Copies of this chain bind each other. A is one copy, B any other.
Amino acid sequence: MVTLIRILNCLLLLLLFTFLKAQDRAIEFPDIPGYRTLKCDFHIHSVFSDGSVWPDIRVQEAVKDGLDAISLTEHLEYQPHLADLPHPDRNRSYEIAKELAKPYDLLVIHGAEITRKLPPGHANAIFITDANKLNIKDSIEAYREANRQGAFVFWNHPNWIAQQHSGVATLTELHKMLIDKGHLHGIEVVNDLTYSDEALQISLDHNLTIMGCSDIHGLVDWQFRLDQGGHRPITLVFATEKSEAAIKEALFAHRTVAWFDNLLVGQMLVLEPLIRKSIKIGKATYQGPSSVVSVEIENVSDATFILKNESTYTFHSDSDVITIEPKGKKVIEVKTGEQKSQIELQFSILNALMAPNQHPSVSWIVDVDL
């Protein structure tokens, strides 16, 4: 009896928790087989470079957004608040955030932004040990030092129009050299309010890890219009566990998906399982004696899924393009010609990208209750 009451209590807590989660702004995506799906933002500024808030706000935003890991990546060289914050130590922001994050289940990764003209442009080095040592004149030397510290280094906003007037991410000889030497490991395909097809192509051509980052300077609530259902761009990292080491391993292994304005961008190896776990096929039953089968589809993720039918069947309930709201359910009615015990559904996932203009195609084998 005591056990029962304990179970009941647990479940009531779960009920409450579920209810509260449903109300909050925390970003939610399911884990995939073998890996936890960690929500990470590795490009963030505070008053310690050109941001507008103390690190405590960055920690609170991350907690509210349900993030697993963040990195405050202050510009090493660009310090507009220097007159007021004349601190010589570029690790200060990290240290404050690290301390403030202690009460929460939030990892704070030591990082910094190497801020140069293009090429090489801006880059974030995360998992560093001392930011000050990166603050050196020669760009290549800075990358080298970051790598000496064991950092994961990624190219920031290669499409930034302030540096690249065309907005077209373009690889230079310098970048190729950095990649060849193993000094550059990732690239922002998504930065702030922008997405770059060309950066995605570069990531594929040169095996760079796909990154999506907020690059937040002001407030997340305002910049990404949370009041209108928006979300900050993040990198989903598929890690064996929630730890700094596991995140680092996953980043070097390219197991990431960028999540931007309802778009999921990633390599098929992780994108497909993420889609499969986000979209759950439920009960399938024929309507009376007809050969029209009703199939329940549930979307357990935060993405609005836009699916294009590529099955051999047409639908009784929908045209070829179907939308499933976040945390929403939908029943599609499939005309199978005759009653079958198993059918195959295939969709192109229009809100996901594996390459420029290339949407992943995913199929599901559905068992029908006859």
By a CB distance below 8 angstroms, the chain B residues around A359 are 321
Interface 9-residue window, one of A26-34, A121-129, A311-319: A311-319
Indicate if the CB atoms of B196 and A316 lie closer than 8 Å. Answer: yes
Quote the shortest CB–CB distance from A4 to chain B (angstroms): 7
Determine the distance from Cα of A291 to Cα of B161 in the docked complex, in whole angstroms: 8
Per-residue CB proximity of A243-273 to B under 8 Å, as 1/0? 0000000000000000001110100000000
By a CB distance below 8 angstroms, the chain B residues around A227 are 226-227
Indicate if the CB atoms of A168 and B47 lie closer than 8 Å. Answer: no
What size tier do the contact residues of chain A reach?
35 or more
State whether the Cβ of A147 lies closer than 8 Å to any Cβ in chain B.
no
Quote the shortest CB–CB distance from A19 to chain B (angstroms): 7
Determine the distance from Cα of A59 to Cα of B259 in the docked complex, in whole angstroms: 31
Contact residues of A: prevailing secondary structure: loop
CB neighbors of B among A25-63 (8 A): 47-48, 51-54, 56-57, 60
Indicate if the CB atoms of A291 and B167 lie closer than 8 Å. Answer: yes
The residue from B85, B219, B318, B333 contacting A219, defined by CB atoms under 8 A apart: B219
Quote the shortest CB–CB distance from A280 to chain B (angstroms): 15
Per-residue CB proximity of A1-34 to B under 8 Å, as 1/0? 0001001100100110011001000000000000
Interface 9-residue window, one of A104-112, A179-187, A349-357: A349-357
By a CB distance below 8 angstroms, the chain B residues around A193 are 317
The residue from B86, B165, B263 contacting A86, defined by CB atoms under 8 A apart: B86
By a CB distance below 8 angstroms, the chain B residues around A22 are 19
By a CB distance below 8 angstroms, the chain B residues around A321 are 263, 306, 350-351, 359
Indicate if the CB atoms of B319 and A353 lie closer than 8 Å. Answer: yes
The residue from B60, B219, B318 contacting A57, defined by CB atoms under 8 A apart: B219
Determine the distance from Cα of A179 to Cα of B359 in the docked complex, in whole angstroms: 42
The residue from B53, B56, B166 contacting A291, defined by CB atoms under 8 A apart: B166
Quote the shortest CB–CB distance from A86 to chain B (angstroms): 7
State whether the Cβ of A218 lies closer than 8 Å to any Cβ in chain B.
yes
9 pairs across A/B with beta carbons < 8 Å? Answer: A60-B218, A161-B292, A167-B290, A195-B315, A263-B318, A265-B319, A306-B306, A308-B350, A320-B356
Closest 6 CB pairs of A and B: A161-B290, A167-B292, A197-B314, A52-B54, A167-B335, A11-B11
